[in-house]
Structure 1
Amino acid sequence: MKSNKLLMIMIIILVAIILVGAILFVVYMNANKDSVEKGPTIDEIVEASIDVPEIRTNLKDKHVVIMQMKLTTDSKEAAAELEKRLFQVNNIAIQELSDMELKDLEGSQGKEAFGNILKTKVNELMQDGEVTKVYLTAYISQ
């Protein structure tokens, strides 16, 4: 009788462990499936992007920077609006750069910080969507 009781407890514990494992497996697979499906394809990224022509301007410390950028947006409509707002993007970039020194743009962190500032300021203007990322495609400082 004791061995039947012990066997029954072991079976219940084993079933509980298998059930918890199955639930965790299903949750894990669904979480990974969602993260893979959410990302846009490279073609969608390119369609929702615009190229900013070369910007050549002086920095606060009298150095000169020359840069080109690609701005990605969250939709084709946002990219179309941003294309029309290129003069405003250039204006914001020049104003921000004129308040910076060359040391502010040094390294990847400096360039990333500039990109984040530009993205935030441009998004304040946007009505259809938003800028999701600023890529520097060319950068020269003198």
Structure 2
Amino acid sequence: MFQNRLVTIMLIILASLTLIGVVVFILYTQVFQSEDADAEPSIEEVIERSVETSEITTNLYTNQVIRAVFVIEADSEDAKEEVEMRDFQVNNIIISELSDMSAQDLQGSEGMSMLEENIRSRMNEIMQDGSIVRVYIKDKVIQ
């Protein structure tokens, strides 16, 4: 009877240690996975999820002409495909944003950031499969 108790106690201790090990492993992997999800994407991931617009030439509010190229970064591959399909809507949003601006509105980093943010927010209104993370001005000439 003594050996039966000893075996039972050893099995309980072994099961407890195994259970503790499994819980620690799960918690450990979950903590590091959530930190990886918050990490900045690599440049390869950004390029894979980005769409470059064709060169857009339009008038500003002050009748000056702007030529610009934008790069639109989506949050997923599905969102990138949706942006590519909505290219005419993207161009329309960009042209309408530019038509309300003057050359002075686009001077400096603050003006360019404001334009990028306005385009991003308007595009997110029409997106169905994901969202736009960031809009970059790749090229800009005002005449």
Q: Same fold (TM over 0.5)?
A: yes
Compared CA separation, residues 92 and 36, structure 1 to 2 (3 A): closer
Greater Cα offset, 59-68 or 38-47: 38-47
Q: Structure 1 residue 37: deviation in Å? A: 6.2
- SS at structure 2 position matched to 1:102: coil
Task: State how far apart, in whole Å, the 2-side matches of 1:53 and 1:109 are.
Answer: 24
Moved over 6 A (4+): none
Which residue number corresponds to residue 58 of structure 1? Answer: 59
Which residue number corresponds to residue 119 of structure 1? Answer: 120
Q: Structure 1 residue 101: deviation in Å? A: 0.8
User: Percent identity among equivalent residues?
Assistant: 38
Give the count of matched residue pairs. 112
Compared CA separation, residues 123 and 37, structure 1 to 2 (3 A): closer
In the superposition, the TM-score normalised over structure 1's length comes to 0.74
Q: Which runs of 5+ in 2 are unaligned?
A: 1-30
Which residue number corresponds to residue 111 of structure 2? Answer: 110
Task: State how far apart, in whole Å, the 1-side matches of 2:125 and 2:47 are.
Answer: 22
Q: Structure 1 residue 99: deviation in Å? A: 1.1
- SS at structure 1 position matched to 2:105: helix
Which residue number corresponds to residue 86 of structure 2? Answer: 85
- SS at structure 2 position matched to 1:133: strand
Task: State how far apart, in whole Å, the 1-side matches of 2:92 and 2:74 are.
Answer: 19
Letter in 1 for 2:58: T
Deviations 1:105-141 (A, max 9, x none): 1111101100000000000000011110111110000
Which residue number corresponds to residue 21 of structure 1? Answer: none
Letter in 1 for 2:103: L
Compared CA separation, residues 73 and 59, structure 1 to 2 (3 A): same
Q: Which runs of 5+ in 1 are unaligned?
A: 1-29
Compared CA separation, residues 37 and 116, structure 1 to 2 (3 A): closer
Q: Structure 1 residue 34: deviation in Å? A: 2.2
Letter in 2 for 1:129: G
Q: Structure 1 residue 36: deviation in Å? A: 8.6
- The answer as to 2:13 corresponding to 1:45 is no
Compared CA separation, residues 100 and 37, structure 1 to 2 (3 A): closer
Q: Structure 1 residue 90: deviation in Å? A: 0.4
Letter in 2 for 1:57: T
In the superposition, the TM-score normalised over structure 2's length comes to 0.73
Which residue number corresponds to residue 97 of structure 2? Answer: 96
